[in-house]
Amino acid sequence: MKISVVIPAYNEEKRIDACLESLMKQKIMPDEIIVVDNNSTDSTKEIVKKYPVKIVTEKKQGMIPARNRGFNTAKYDIIARTDADTILPPNWIKKIKKCFLDKKLIALSGPAEFYDLPELIRNSHWQSKPTGVNLIKSYNRIVRKMTKHDCVFGPNYSIRKSTWEMIKNNVCLNDKQVHEDLDLAIHLAPYGKIKFDVNLIVSTSVRRWKRPNAYIEYLYRGLKSIQKHKKSIIKQNNV
């Protein structure tokens, strides 16, 4: 079993170094690492060139086009997807390989903790290190209740390449209308088991949540994703 890692990147010069360093320190190395440059105007590409990775370019702006370019480029059995601002634990690839020994498994995901929470929150009485973990676990419970299957979470998921080939022409393409990871999970679900492993934890940036409107936008796109696939979700739930 071989693994391709796909990392979409747009102007990630401040963070992609740490992400790639964490991949270089894996107990079991991935068989290829693909960075999809999505029109970066900073030094992202120059930083990436320091590492033994493949760089491909996606001219159409957006997470979904960049993800799709990476997934279509990937050569190997399992595609592991993460974000450029994410740091992977040394056993990430090893755990993924072990989980995919289950032949019924088509997708694997897990939560993340936030490594750059403001110090005031990080040191407050009620805050514990895995705040992000608890948030994403709650999100998965909501998704499971609505769709009857687990979600996949953007910075931390893997899918079988063979299943991607089956759904790649059907996934939604508008970043503003759907969550790319929720949309992907809904398309994957009819083909096998999706597993959300609460112990498969990565570290990621909280930067996307610093804007107050990010929460409204996230909820809006989540609801749009569910509404868009309402019929297929009902059909899947009745199987």
Domains in the chain, ordered, with CATH?
3-237 (3.90.550.10)
Identify which of 164, 162, 156, 161 has the alpha carbon closest to the alpha carbon of residue 184: 164
Pairing of strands 3-9, 54-57: unpaired
DSSP state of 76: S
- Whole-Å CA distances, 54 to 17, 34, 156: 15, 5, 20
Q: What is the mean pLDDT of residues 23-32?
A: 98
- What are the distances in angstroms from CA 74 to CA 1, 55, 238? 14, 12, 34
Q: Are 166 and 107 contacting, i.e. CB atoms less than 8 angstroms apart?
A: no
**Mean pLDDT, residues 217-237 taken together:** 60
pLDDT given for residue 126 in this prediction: 41
* pLDDT for the residue numbered 128: 47
Pair 233, 225: CB distance under 8 Å = no
Cβ neighbours around 105 below 10 Å, total: 18
CB 203 within 8 A of CB 113: yes
Distance set, CA 70 to CA 7, 33, 36, 80, 139 (Å): 7, 10, 6, 10, 26
H helix runs in 57-199, sequence order: 63-73, 92-99, 119-122, 131-147, 161-167, 180-188
SS3 for 163? helix
pLDDT band per the 50, 70, 90 thresholds, residue 135 = confident
Pairwise CA distance, residues 168 & 34, whole Å: 18
d(CA 205, CA 74): 25
How far is it, in rounded angstroms, from Cα 61 to Cα 204? 22
pLDDT at 127: 45
Please answer whether residues 8 and 63 qualify as being in contact, where contact means their C-beta atoms are separated by less than 8 angstroms.
yes
Tell me how crowded residue 31 is: count the other CB atoms within 10 A of its CB: 16
pLDDT tens digits along 166-204: 999 999 888 777 888 999 999 999 999 999 999 999 999
- Lowest mean pLDDT, pick from 65-69, 196-200, 219-223: 219-223
Return d(Cα 159, Cα 80) in angstroms, integer: 7
Mean pLDDT over the full length of the chain: 87
CB of 89 closer than 8 Å to CB of 79 = no
pTM for this entry = 0.86
Distance of CA 75 to the CA centre of its chain: 18
pLDDT band at 140 (very low <50, low <70, confident <90, very high): confident
CA angle 88, 91, 93 (to 5 degrees): 80
d(CA 34, CA 32): 7
What pLDDT shows up at residue 134?
A: 79
